Amino acid sequence: MLEQSFWDEMNASGGDVRSVYAKIDAWLRETPPDVLSARRSQAELLFRRIGITFAVYGSKDASERLIPFDIIPRIISQSEWGLLERGLVQRVKAINAFLTDIYGAREILRAGVVPDDLVFRNPHFCPQMAGRRAPHDIWVHIAGIDIVRTGENEFYVLEDNARTPSGVSYMLENREVMMRLLPDLFAAHRIAPVENYTDLLLNCLRSVAPATAAREPVVALLTPGQFNSAYYEHSFLADRLGVELVEGSDLLVRDDVLYMRTTQGPKRIDVLYRRIDDDYLDPLAFRPDSVLGVPGVLNAYHAGNLTLSNAVGTGVADDKAMYTYMPEIVRFYLGEEAILKNVPTWRCREPDALAYVLDHLHELVVKEVNGSGGYGMLVGPHATREERAAFREKLLADPVNYIAQPTLSLSTCPTFVESGVAPRHVDLRPFVLTGANGSRVVPGGLTRVAMREGSLVVNSSQGGGTKDTWIIEDPDMRALASFSSQRSV
Amino acid sequence: MRIVIRHEIEQSFEPPVKSLNQALRLTPRSHESQHVVRWRVETDGDSRLRLGEDAFGNVVHALGVSGVTSQLRIVAEGVVETFDAAGIVRATVERFPPGLFLRDTGLTMPDAPSREIAARISGGNMIERLHTLLLRLQHGETEARDDEAAQTNPQDTDEAEALAHRFIVCARLMGAPARFIAGYVLHPEEREGKRHVWAEAYVEGVGWIGFDPVNVICPHDGHVRAAVGLDALDAGATRAAPQPLSVASSVSVRRAD
């Protein structure tokens, strides 16, 4: 199991260079390591200057850290992307239908497709939303769907993020840095643009504004504040969107309308792109001790004077237990098979599955149903005997809280590390925007890379890095030939 | 029994606040053993009340005040006609299947003592087990109380709340959906009743049954149900933000002459 071979996105399984990577391969061949190294230093300098850092919870020494950036782009062809895109849009459509249903008629529970208790006892199910509809029946305006690849046409969804997915600022910054750093390599490819993401996002948010909004709806971005790990992204996005970055204390609700305090008096807000969790959103409805939220904001939402993006209670659709039902959920609402596959998953809530998982801990990845960021998980093959024993106890104590998956043979991409260019495991988080006019996926996403050799954990909180993701036109062979001859002149 | 209730709440804010929003759950609804004859909720000051309903079917008044406020007075009063139903609660407004009330919340997380109590109860049907729970809680949790002291002790509702939560946690561990009830009580032998909280558990084939762990009884015709929720937070009389510096309440619960 440990000796499994991995599919490399550049070399396939040790064979010829895949055509999409031909130019990257040529570039890597003819660029001396010291030049690559210099480029990497420049990249780091650029990121430092931009100030793009993130905080790691629970780490004392480095409260602000730079996410390692790898200068070798990850390449995906348009035809591969087309498949991914259709699958992503389908999945988000099903998630929105699911949320409309479980907070409404609950047909899927009546049909017995998803067990009642998985919804009603889910900590992210929000009773306050029952019987309510989201504007345009869109709950998840911004989704981040984590994708892994294991082979030529083998894509799997690793997890859905339907609450407040982050990382899009890295997608945008990585692209800018790459354009500045490697303009020749950039110009040699026809790369689909991601720069228009913020325009699309703003259009999306405005399209779901309540009917009572002004003709040009006012959007604001609500952040928990500068101590949040994603604060950089919040300020970055507010800046790019051209909207106010606000904290709870800047806002007030009067007569079920949300206002922000300005020097010219209160100004109405129609759409709140909130980057704080449900629990903290409204002390009158959720945690009464929250000082991050706005008292009465849920009333404004219920009264139809405000759109919250994403809607409240979407977490019930993205937890890891619900994930296992996603193929059935797609089938139930859309009458189609899911285009993107799920990773085979054992639900430890089921006794047979639990028994299997306990017997195969050494080869499985066990995750908490509601965990994120790579915390609270066991990577069986890499764990010590003691770690496995400790996890066995946890599993037995609370099986409902866990799922297990095989250790996937995540694809690798060439990555510039200390020892030179070497394959490292990657995943991909594309962002799906859904507004009144349908879903859009910006071609690209955040590629995360596990910088340590053999590591499968790509989370930035666990030492993962990022790469720019290039969706390029399917290469045609003549153009390739001319590129090589040009370069060798 | 015809019961006259008056619940007055005085809140003070220091420093004064410029705007405030509150949710008031102070309005009983009628069901089979409880008929609300008349009821009103009023506030003073420059405030507005808007009537609504929450996810659990409670009547909620959204209270909004704009303008500088240092004192706020809220009054709920009315008359309720009640009938003894041996604790069985029927024809209530239900927005969820009973299974929802198996949910854990921040205030009703299973802890070791609850697990132990629940694990030691076995045998009989669910109603019998829940009654056993009602008895065990009282004996295991609290010392004998002086009823005089209970009347005036401000800790009284805190204790009732803690016991109701404990009952809810144990009942859920035993597999019975359970929920928190806030309201009023007037015991048959007493002239003056009070604000009170208790629990309800759901038994298949019977429905929702009230359990009053402080008094070790099932609710009788002296219990008036005002709000329901997963825990005390959902059913509390007021939820305020910003929080008042101090709150004084006075409650009068009497038999109608």
- What is the spatial order of strands in the sheet that A364-368 belongs to? A346-347, A402-406, A364-368, A378-379
Give, in order, the Cα–Cα distances in Å from A419 to each of A34, A37, A225, A456, B213.
12, 11, 39, 19, 68
Do both B103 and B220 map to the same domain?
yes
The pLDDT of residue B22:
95
Q: Which residue stretches of A338-476 are H helix?
A: 351-359, 385-397
**Cβ atoms within 10 Å of A284's Cβ, excluding its own:** 24
The answer to whether residues A253 and A269 touch, using CB atoms and an 8 Å cutoff, is no
Do both B39 and B157 map to the same domain?
no
The pLDDT of residue B6:
98
b/e code A386-417 from CB counts within 10 Å (16+ = b): eeeeebeeebeeebebbbbbebbbbbbbbbbb
The answer to whether residues B10 and B57 touch, using CB atoms and an 8 Å cutoff, is no
Mutate to test the interface with B, among A124, A298, A299 (most CBs of B within 10 A): A299
Do both B138 and B173 map to the same domain?
yes
Do both B65 and B165 map to the same domain?
no
The pLDDT of residue A2:
39
How sure is the predictor about A480, in pLDDT bands with cuts at 50, 70 and 90? low
Using an 8 Å CB-CB cutoff, list chain B residues near A120: 96-97, 99-100, 102-103
Do both B246 and B189 map to the same domain?
no
* CATH number, domain with residue B21: 2.60.40.2250
Candidates A208, A231, A213; CA nearest to A267 is A213
The pLDDT of residue A12:
85
Cβ-defined contact of A127 to B55 (cutoff 8 Å): yes
Range of the domain at B52: 2-79+238-255
Mean pLDDT of A221-225: 97
Contacts of A419 (CB under 8 A, 6+ apart): none
Rounded Cα–Cα distance for residues B203 and B103 (Å)? 16
The pLDDT of residue A371:
62
A5 vs B233, more confident:
B233
Tens digits of per-residue pLDDT, B22-42?
999 999 999 999 999 999 999
The pLDDT of residue A55:
54
Using DSSP, state whether A53 is helix, strand or coil: coil
Q: Does B152 score more than 50 pLDDT?
A: no
Number of domains chain B is built from: 2
Rounded Cα–Cα distance for residues A253 and A247 (Å)? 14
Do both B18 and B97 map to the same domain?
no
Do both B112 and B73 map to the same domain?
no
The pLDDT of residue A349:
87
The pLDDT of residue B64:
92
Rounded Cα–Cα distance for residues A215 and A124 (Å)? 34
Give, in order, the Cα–Cα distances in Å from A41 to each of A33, A35, A36, A177, A298.
12, 10, 9, 12, 47
Mean pLDDT of A302-329: 94
DSSP B80-140: EEE---TTEE-S----S-GGGGG---GGG---HHHHHHHHT--SS-HHHHHHHHHHHHHHH
Mean pLDDT of A406-413: 89
Do both B175 and B248 map to the same domain?
no
Cβ-defined contact of B100 to A127 (cutoff 8 Å): yes
- For residue B204, give the amino acid letter: E
Contacts of A349 (CB under 8 A, 6+ apart): A321, A399, A400
Tens digits of per-residue pLDDT, A367-389?
888 765 566 788 888 889 999 99
DSSP A72-84: EEEEEEHHHHHHH
Cβ-defined contact of B55 to A256 (cutoff 8 Å): no
* CATH number, domain with residue B145: 3.10.620.30
Do both B151 and B181 map to the same domain?
yes
Token readout for A18 is 């895949």
The torsion of the CA quartet A246, A248, A249, A252, rounded to 10 degrees, works out to 100
Burial of B255 (0-12, 13-18, 19+ CB in 10 A): middle
Q: Does B87 score more than 80 pLDDT?
A: yes
Candidates A98, A36, A93; CA nearest to A70 is A36
Maximum CA extent, chain A: 72
pTM: 0.91
Do both B113 and B74 map to the same domain?
no
Q: Does A489 score more than 60 pLDDT?
A: no
Do both B60 and B96 map to the same domain?
no
B242 CA: distance to closest CA in chain A (Å): 8
Q: Which of A58-67, A229-238, B63-72 has the lowest mean pLDDT?
A: A58-67
Interface of B with A (CB under 8 A): 19-23, 48, 50, 52, 54-56, 62, 64, 66, 95-97, 99-100, 102-104, 106, 230, 233, 239-243
Do both B31 and B95 map to the same domain?
no
